[in-house]
A = this chain, B = another copy of it.
Amino acid sequence: MNYTLKKISELLNVDIIGDESYEVDQVSSLENATSSSVVFVSDKKFLKFLDNSKSKVVITTKALSKSCNLNVIISENPYLLFSKVSKLINKVDDLVYSVHESVCTSTRNLNKKITVEPNVVIGKNVQLGNNTFIGANCYIGDFVDIGENSYIYPNVTIYNNVKIGNNIIVHSGTVIGSDGFGYANDEKSLVKIPQIGGVQIGNNVEIGSNTSIDRGTLDNTIIGNGVKIDNQIQIAHNVHIGDNTVIAGCAGIAGSAKIGKNCMIGGAAGIQGHIEICDNVKITGMAKVACDIKEAGVYSSGTPLMLNKKWLKNAARFKQLNELFLKYKK
């Protein structure tokens, strides 16, 4: 879709500097821009790349616009506006409602305003909201609710009794509602604890690919509104995740952990079971969280990267660290 800058100005309520009749047809990176694509610059240090870019239109702040010779769309949050322009230009087609003839469903009277691709299997008493899309080869268990305007990509598995809100995206390979990992010891063997809780997911949640969210043991595993969960993530049984918390790829949240609102959990970070993290906490990548966090802030663990030769020596010393302290005290 083509837009003049004037049209963008009207639709998104922003100011333009330059030629309002200029037409754009795509957003792009600075490197691969064409003369009809829009780029953005939110930091002074990227201004220099504009010179080598073929773009004629940049989204940037009023302050930075002074250093630009291009047409400018003014925004104090250029990345946010860039995403809005991208959504305009890359408008997703409205769903053509249809349930493919190969779909197996035990639910009578499924909502008609949905799209279900081939080979989807749907259990009984399932509710799917208006404008919801279920991709090919998904499995949707009994008593599952999925709200409106939700998009479930192919090959997703949703177990029984999972309740999901509106405006949800779930990427392929993800499993929601699998049994939590719970056993009782019976002398030398382990006896499975039935996992009779469910999973409850709020609105405006996105879940990446190949992620696992287990059902609760007795009560629900709970994912709040606006939570964003990346790929390859483990969310164990009984976990609670507060609203608008963001969890990056490969992170693992162990059973019964409670994470507050507006937290950022870095990639491959590990949260131990049964601990609580308050609101507004940021955990850096690969950190190990083995205790409650009661104060907002940025937290880390681990050691820095070194040449292996040097690391071997320092790592060996780590084993003697307590000894050194004790000697030094003397």
Q: Does A190 contact B (CB under 8 A)?
A: yes
A96 CB to closest chain B CB, in angstroms?
13
Interface residues on A, range: 35 or more
Per-position contact with B for A116-137: 1 when CB-CB < 8 Å, else 0?
0111010000000000000111
- Choose one: B86, B210, B293; the contact of A173 (CB below 8 Å): B210
Flag the segment in A1-9, A45-53, A61-69, A242-250 that touches B: A242-250
Answer whether A318 and B324 are a contact pair too, CB < 8 Å, given A154-B139, A184-B82, A298-B308: no
**A181 with B306: CB separation less than 8 A:** no
Which residues of B have CB within 8 Å of A139? 135-137, 154-155, 172
Per-position contact with B for A175-203: 1 when CB-CB < 8 Å, else 0?
10011010111101111111010000000
Per-position contact with B for A284-308: 1 when CB-CB < 8 Å, else 0?
1111111101000111111111111
Q: Does A90 contact B (CB under 8 A)?
A: yes
Nearest 9 pairs of A and B residues by beta carbon: A157-B172, A139-B154, A298-B308, A80-B184, A121-B136, A178-B209, A175-B209, A212-B231, A313-B322
**15 A-B pairs with C-beta separation under 8 A:** A26-B196, A28-B219, A79-B184, A121-B154, A137-B137, A173-B175, A232-B232, A234-B267, A288-B303, A290-B304, A297-B307, A303-B318, A313-B321, A318-B318, A327-B328
